[in-house]
Amino acid sequence: MRKYKYIKFAAFAIILVLFIIKVAEVNKKYPQVVYKDIEVGETSAWTEELELTINGARVFSSKEAVDRYGNIILNDMVDGIDFKVVEVDATVTNKSDSNAIGYLYDLYMENLVFANGIAAEIQINTDTDKLDVDLNPKEYKDVTLCYVIYDTQFNDKEWDEIGSKSFWISGSHYPVKKRWHFI
């Protein structure tokens, strides 16, 4: 009886050691993400060829958004749920010596809880209605990015206090996650 007890203990110890070794190998191969925060007006590499600068952001209530973009945007909104629109002014620059394409839909608006992609139903009403920006060498383009947030994503206190400082744009995620802040 005791013999089986020792065998079970030894087997458990071996499995535990093997598990710890495997976890250590994975952690060594895929280290923890490193965050790089970029302030408003500061330029940083977005891709190998492109740089991104966030020039500023504004948050519009649902009424202000309808005034700005028209009643047509209500067709794509969920009835009975209040929303706000975050409009971001940015500049994309091609720093390379060849043509480059930037895919704006790869830029997510995030906070510590969630991430939202560009709201196509509003984006088509801006001067940046195409979500891919084709740039010649050393060329830059000012773009507008629009994101929608809903009151169901926040509690009442957070919803009333939401401003552009609550979010950032993220365009790269691993191993270095760049976060372009709005203020």
Which residues are 148's β-sheet partners? 85
**Bond from prior residue into 175 cis (ω within 30 degrees of 0):** yes
Alpha-carbon span 170 to 2, nearest angstrom: 58
Q: Tens of pLDDT along 127-155?
A: 888 889 999 999 999 999 999 999 888 88
24-28, 98-102, 129-133, 168-172 — most confident range: 98-102
Torsions phi, psi for 43 (to 5 deg) = -100, 140
Percent of the chain with pLDDT over 90: 55
Amino acid type, 127: D
Contact 52, 60 (CB under 8 A): no
The answer on pLDDT for 1 being more than 70 is no
Higher pLDDT, 161 or 183: 161
Q: pLDDT by residue (tens digit) across 58-103?
A: 999 999 999 999 888 888 887 888 999 999 999 999 999 999 999 9
**Residues recorded for the chain:** 183
Closest of 176, 69, 42 to residue 128, by C-alpha: 69
**What is the average pLDDT score of the chain?**
90
User: Average pLDDT, stretch 100-113?
Assistant: 92
Query: Which pLDDT value is given to residue 78?
Result: 78
74: tokens are 């209500």
